Chain A
Amino acid sequence: MSRRRTGVAKPSSRAAAVAAAVLLLASGAAAAHDGSGLPGGFAQGFRHPFGGADHQLAMVSVGLWGAFLGRPLIHRLPLLFPVVMAGGGALGMLGLPWPSLETGIALSVLVLGGCIALGLRAPAWAALSLVAFFALFHGYAHGRELPSAADPVGYSLGFVLATGLLHLLGIALGALNARPGGVAATRGLGGAIAIAGGAFLYKALAA
């Protein structure tokens, strides 16, 4: 029996609409990276990933690359990322030293964007390892930036939920692959993400 392998998932259109609506409502306020005092809580935690382009692009890339890779990675990557991110967040909260945080985050955008641009179909263990590695960096950044909050648990709940919705958006964008010219479009999007990652990396190294 031949196994039809499209490498493309058909995400729920309802889920995509929810993700888009959330982004429209949540984007704009650059609350994540102003470095000033924040009261915390769920709203701030939810806004945090949307406020930083590096976080947004990396999270969307995880979902989009998963859509390229197809089953089971389209499910496993977004399942793995929050859990490992929480581990990184725990390390950040504990204040453990972490090498080259900015470089790692910039690299995540560059590498994940590059994987999409090249249409790279990595084996499952490699894709999961790569995503887990970068999840640690993003989680550490969230953990270190957790403000003195009235409700830090709500903050954690917010940014984990926001991260998941960004993954969902990436998976929804992967639906373009099923359309004529869609693969070229998503690979072009990956290229744009990789270029942005390159800019972030240059900024991180030049700092």
Chain B
Amino acid sequence: MSTGWLPAALLYGAFGLALARAPRHAAMPGLLALVAAAATATWVVPSAWRDRATFVGWLVAAFAAALVHRRAGLSSPAAFALAVLAGGCAGATTAAPLPALLCAAAALLAARASMRRMPLALGVAASWLVAVAVLAAVLALLPVTPGNLPDHLE
């Protein structure tokens, strides 16, 4: 269940937050790897695989957001691998990666600023992203949403 650019944007955002926990010198290679993987996936991955790619993308987003809470942070090789994975999934889910790609850079900048002044905000954003990604991954498995069932108070 893909919904336009939103899955890719959130995935890029989660990656940006995780990249903030990596060494500074890993940022540029990570972003370049993200762009390259996204561009490659856009051309290579068949559109019939889009829903599967969306589901995997949500799992990757949850994983990336969860890495923010890792005390040891993210190593450079891990950041590069995550970039390839995130870019590949996001590129396969949307035909317009560039607008969503801005989310990765914006999230990275916001996360670095947050780490200096209010590190808790980074953790909060990451937790929220994990929650949304988990829910979205489940939604991707469902043929229909639960619908309008009676409220639990009724």
Q: Which residues of A contact B (CB under 8 A)?
A: 12, 32-38, 40, 52, 54, 75, 78-80, 82-83, 85-87, 89-90, 92-95, 101-102, 105, 141, 143-149, 151-154, 156-157, 160-161, 164, 203
> In the complex the two chains form, what is the Cα distance from A149 to B135 in whole Å?
14
Q: Is the CB of B145 within 8 A of A93?
A: yes
A93 touches B146 (CB 8 A): yes
Tell me the dominant secondary structure on chain A's binding face: helix
Instruction: Give chain B's interface residues, CB within 8 Å of chain A.
Output: 1, 3, 6-7, 10, 69, 118, 120, 123-124, 127-128, 130-132, 134-139, 141-142, 144-154
Q: List the B residue with the shortest CB-CB distance to A150.
A: B3
- Is the beta-carbon distance between A79 and B148 smaller than 8 angstroms? no
Which of B138, B142, B150, B152 has the most A CB atoms < 10 Å from its CB?
B152
Chain A nearest CB, measured from B136 CB (Å): 5
Report the Cα distance A33→B134, complex, angstroms: 24
How far does the alpha carbon of A189 sit from the alpha carbon of B109 in the complex, in Å? 40
- Asked whether, in the complex, the Cβ of A164 is within 8 Å of the Cβ of B146, the reply is no
Q: Are B145 and A35 touching (Cβ within 8 A)?
A: no
Please state if A92 and B146 are interface contacts (CB–CB under 8 Å). Answer: yes
- A160 x B148 contact (CB < 8 A): no
Judge whether B139 and A93 touch: CB under 8 Å: yes
Distance in Å from the Cβ of A122 to the closest Cβ of chain B? 21
Q: A79-B123, A83-B127, A146-B146 are in contact. Are A33 and B132 (CB under 8 A)?
A: no
